């Protein structure tokens, strides 16, 4: 089967997590850049990547890479690409998104217009038609310019991969599902360890943790653009991916995953979202403020996204709130705690310097992923029945 290049964009700073996921699926990495990982696969890889990858934003089928400093060059280089290998005679195609960094061609709308004209010219000649009805399936094109070099791909995903299909109810300032999954993967947490989110909001951290624990593929219950591209990605590839997803799933496992929030309505929304995801039986949600955070077991994980104080009136409350977080962490002194926030004085008021700190962009907001590492639980002796959180 022919090898193609696939591009998986992700959050800046989390490329290594996505790279590991792709390698675990069995595909070869060809390039890692800021905000994206490119890998090699066959057409079946389009189905597997869309269904299984937890931290990618979408999957692009790479058409080509060109150099262009003028619009004439852009037209000619775009026209030279083998669009007919991907877009059928009745395909609906357009340049859905163009971005440009440090390049002479910087107007997204002009880039989109010129490229569409070049694609039309190429396909008119190949298919021997004078105009296109574009009545078939969608083939949106995305192009990224960097220093006059453009990478061009067709979007196989459609609605971003962070839309798992379970989050109908959202709290304010929600964290995306892909970012939540990536942050959990940056921790050593596994399904045998306790997981607590004291600011659970719409439940994204606990739900993503439960889906990982139960082996539920993130793309199992949604549609993709490419699942209608029968001539390019046959239906059997999607059936193979979904069959494997069903085989990997085990929702009968026993886990200790908890989500708390001070707002009762938010907790109700989190429960509803967990039910949509099929993991409500794996998570204990409760209305509880952070100053009530405690746990009888000695070892566990806190992974959370507390308020950032983006509004001025909220900013004044942050020192007190982060002091309460610090006091809760002291009560859980042998636990590991992971906090993502844009609040730059978080460590000061938590009262402890993080063991590790990683800068991550949550949308356009620069955030920090503070990692306060606890003691590792002792390994149980052979034939010892007791398990540790």
9 with 55, same domain: the answer is yes
Which of 105, 209, 20 lies closest to 8 in space, CA to CA? 20
Asked whether residue 348 is assigned to any structural domain, the reply reads: yes
Cβ-proximal residues to 385 (8 Å cutoff; 6+ apart), any chain:
none
pLDDT in tens, 185-221: 999 999 999 999 999 999 999 999 999 999 999 999 9
pLDDT of residue 364: 81
Asked whether residue 169 is assigned to any structural domain, the reply reads: no
pLDDT of residue 83: 98
Distance CA 165, CA 277 (A): 8
302 with 365, same domain: the answer is yes
pLDDT of residue 361: 86
pLDDT of residue 388: 40
143 with 182, same domain: the answer is no
Q: Domain span at residue 102?
A: 4-155
Asked whether residue 244 is assigned to any structural domain, the reply reads: no
116 with 194, same domain: the answer is no
The CATH number of the domain where 297 resides is what?
A: 3.40.50.150
Q: In this structure, is the dihedral angle defined by the CA atoms of residues 248, 251, 256 and 259, taken in order, positive or negative?
A: positive
pLDDT of residue 171: 59
pLDDT of residue 377: 86
Asked whether residue 342 is assigned to any structural domain, the reply reads: yes
pLDDT of residue 310: 67
Q: Is 389 exposed, middle or buried (0-12, 13-18, 19+ CB in 10 A)?
A: middle
109 with 205, same domain: the answer is no
Asked whether residue 110 is assigned to any structural domain, the reply reads: yes
Question: What is the chain's length?
Answer: 389
pLDDT of residue 386: 41
Neighbouring CB atoms inside 10 A of 346's CB total 22
96 with 208, same domain: the answer is no
- Residue ranges of the chain with per-residue pLDDT less than 70: 1, 169-173, 310-313, 381-389
Asked whether residue 261 is assigned to any structural domain, the reply reads: yes
184 with 106, same domain: the answer is no
Distance CA 178, CA 10 (A): 8
Q: How many domains does the chain have?
A: 2
The CATH number of the domain where 72 resides is what?
A: 3.30.2130.30
Distance CA 53, CA 25 (A): 9
Prediction pTM value: 0.94
80 with 146, same domain: the answer is yes
67 with 17, same domain: the answer is yes
Asked whether residue 17 is assigned to any structural domain, the reply reads: yes
Asked whether residue 229 is assigned to any structural domain, the reply reads: no
Do the strands 36-41 and 4-9 form a parallel or antiparallel pair, or are they unpaired?
A: antiparallel
150 with 264, same domain: the answer is no
């Amino acid at each position: 089967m022919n090898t193609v290049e696939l591009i998986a964009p992700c959050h800046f700073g989390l490329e290594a997590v996505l790279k590991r996921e792709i390698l675990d699926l069995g595909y070869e990495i060809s390039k890692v850049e800021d905000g994206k990982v490119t890998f090699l696969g066959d057409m079946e890889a389009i189905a597997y990547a869309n269904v299984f990858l937890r931290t990618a934003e979408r999957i692009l089928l790479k058409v080509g890479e060109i150099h262009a400093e003028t619009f004439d060059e852009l037209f000619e280089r775009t026209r030279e690409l083998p669009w007919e290998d991907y877009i059928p005679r009745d395909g609906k195609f357009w340049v859905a998104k163009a971005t440009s960094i440090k390049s002479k061609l910087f107007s997204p709308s002009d880039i989109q217009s010129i490229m569409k004209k070049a694609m039309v010219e190429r396909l008119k000649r190949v298919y021997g038609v004078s105009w296109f009805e574009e009545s078939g399936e969608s083939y949106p094109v995305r192009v990224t310019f960097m220093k006059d070099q453009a990478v061009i791909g067709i979007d196989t995903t459609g609605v971003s991969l962070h839309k798992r299909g379970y989050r109908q109810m959202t709290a304010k300032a929600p964290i995306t599902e892909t970012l939540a999954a990536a942050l959990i993967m940056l921790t050593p947490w596994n399904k045998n360890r306790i997981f607590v989110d004291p600011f659970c909001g719409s439940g994204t951290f606990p739900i993503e943790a439960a889906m990982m624990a139960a082996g539920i593929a993130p793309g199992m219950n949604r549609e993709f653009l490419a699942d209608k591209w029968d001539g390019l990605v046959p239906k059997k590839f999607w059936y193979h991916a979904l069959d494997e997803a069903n085989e990997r799933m085990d929702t009968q496992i026993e886990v200790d995953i908890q989500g708390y929030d001070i707002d009762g309505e938010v907790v109700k929304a989190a429960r509803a979202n967990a039910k949509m995801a099929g993991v409500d039986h794996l998570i204990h949600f409760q209305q509880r403020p952070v100053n009530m955070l405690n746990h009888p077991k000695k070892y566990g994980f806190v992974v959370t996204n507390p308020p950032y104080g983006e509004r001025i009136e909220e900013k004044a409350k942050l020192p007190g709130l982060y002091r309460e977080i610090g006091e809760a962490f002291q009560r859980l002194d042998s636990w590991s705690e992971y906090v993502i926030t844009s609040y730059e004085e978080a460590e000061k008021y938590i009262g402890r310097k993080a063991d590790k700190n990683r800068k991550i962009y949550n949308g356009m907001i620069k955030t920090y992923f503070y990692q306060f590492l606890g003691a590792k639980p002792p390994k149980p002796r052979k034939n010892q029945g007791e398990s540790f959180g």
